Amino acid sequence: MAPPPPPAPDATLSDVGEFGLISELVALFPQGEHVLVGPGDDAAVLRVRAGHVVVSTDLMVEGRHFRRDWATAEDVGHRAAAQNLSDLNAMGGRAHSLTVGLAAPADLPAAWAIDFARGFAAECALVGASVVGGDLTRASEVVIAVTVIGACTQAPVLRSGAVPGQLLALCGRQGWAAGGLAVLGRGFRSPRALVDAYRRPAPLYDAGRAAAEAGATAMIDISDGLLAEAGHLAADSGVAIDVRSAAFELPEPLQAVGAALGVDPLSLVLGGGDDHALLATFDPGSPPEGWVVVGEVLAPGDGGPGAVTVDGAAYEGATGWTHF
C-alpha cells in the first residue's frame, strides 16, 4: 500500500488528525540497533546495555519555556532534546533512547509539529540516540514532555560527592543563552550569536563522560543558573562553595548586551541558564582539558551547608531561574 500523501502546507493538526500526524513524525525518527520495538506498539522495548541505566524527564510549556515568535519549530525541537540529553551528560552518561509527548491546539499548523520533530531528531542524532515512542494530545497551548534513557559505563556522578578542598570547574559556554533571552525580551534580535545560543544550545555531549573518567566527584547541568546549580551541589554534598568572578571570560557579545541593557554582563554568566554547560568538582590538578576552574569547595561556614558565595561574599543578584 502506498504511503499517504504529506499534509498540505497550510494543514492544521485538526486537518491531519492524530494518526496522520503520528505517521509523519515516526518517519523522521530512525531507530538504533538497541531498539527491539520502536514507535507503534503500547510501549517500546530496548536492549539494555552494560552499566547503569539512567533516566530523566523534562517539560517545556509554551509561553514559559519558549515562544513561537522567538524561535522556529526546529529550534524548539533542538532545545527540547538538548535539555534532556544534557541531564544524562551531567551524570557521566550517554543517552540512547527518548520518548516525546506533544500536546497542542487543534489549529496548530501541522508543519510546525513536523519541523519540531526534525529539529528534535537532528539533536538526538548528535549522540546517536533514537526516539522510540511518545504521545500526542490536544491542549490550549503547546506542551512538550520528554523522557530520556541512557547508560553510564562507570558509576554515575551524582550531585552529592563534593568535599572541602576540591575545585569547582566549568565546561561549556555560559551566559550566552541568558544574553539572548534578555535581548529577545527587549524586542531585539542582536547580537545574533547570543540569540542563536538561546534558540539552539550547544551542549558538549562528550564532556560528562570525560569528567567522570577524570575523577569528577559531583556534577550538574546548568539549566537554571550557575549559582543556583552550585547551590544544589553544595546542599546535596553538605558543603559550601565559593565562586571566583575573575575566572570568567566576558566575551564581546555579552559586554555589548550588558552595555545596551544597562546590566552587568557577569550577572548573565552567574545567574543565566539554558546553555547547558556542566559544573563539576575535582581534586586539585585533575580537571580534564576543556574545563576551567571557577571556584572551590569549602567546609560549611556561618551560612551552613548549601551556601554559595562569590569572591567570599554573599551575591546580591539573581542566582537563577525559579519555576514557581
What was the pLDDT predicted at 320?
82
**Of 127, 155, 131, 146, residue with least CA distance to 46:** 131
d(CA 312, CA 283) in angstroms, rounded, equals 20
d(CA 177, CA 174) in angstroms, rounded, equals 8
**DSSP tag of 313:** B
d(CA 286, CA 290) in angstroms, rounded, equals 12
* Cβ-contact 242, 303 below 8 angstroms: no
**Of 229, 231, 230, 174, residue with least CA distance to 203:** 174
C-alpha cell at 65: 519555556
By residue count, the chain amounts to 324
Superfamily designation of domain 167-310: PurM-like C-terminal domain (3.90.650.10)
Binding residues for substrate: 65, 274, 321
**DSSP tag of 175:** S
d(CA 221, CA 83) in angstroms, rounded, equals 9
**Of 191, 50, 13, 25, residue with least CA distance to 114:** 25
What was the pLDDT predicted at 7?
79
CATH of domain 13-152: 3.30.1330.10
The residue ranges of every structural domain in the chain are 13-152, 167-310
Binding residues: 42, 56-58, 65, 87, 134-135, 159, 221, 223-224, 274, 321
**Going residue by residue through the chain (324 aa), what tens digit of pLDDT does each one get?**
455 567 777 788 788 776 677 777 777 777 787 777 767 655 667 777 777 888 999 999 999 999 999 999 999 999 999 999 999 999 999 999 999 999 999 999 999 999 999 999 999 999 999 999 999 999 999 999 999 999 988 899 999 999 999 999 999 999 999 999 999 999 988 899 999 999 999 999 999 999 999 999 999 999 999 999 999 999 999 999 999 999 999 999 999 999 999 999 999 999 999 999 999 999 999 899 999 999 999 999 878 899 999 999 999 988 887 665
Binding residues for ATP: 134-135, 159, 223
Contacts of residue 116, defined as CB under 8 A and 6 or more positions apart, other chains included, come to 73, 74, 76, 77, 80, 102, 144
> Residue 37, Cβ neighbours under 10 Å: how many?
14
What was the pLDDT predicted at 1?
45
d(CA 18, CA 101) in angstroms, rounded, equals 12
Question: What is the helix (H) or strand (E) element at residue 97, kind and residue range?
Answer: strand 94-104
Binding residues for Mg(2+): 42, 56-58, 87, 135, 221, 224
| Beta-ladder partners of 282 | 167
* β pairing state of 94-104 and 130-138: parallel
C-alpha cell at 310: 562569590
What was the pLDDT predicted at 43?
60
Contacts of residue 67, defined as CB under 8 A and 6 or more positions apart, other chains included, come to 184
What was the pLDDT predicted at 41?
58
Please report where in the chains the cell 494543514 appears, as a residue.
11
What was the pLDDT predicted at 96?
93
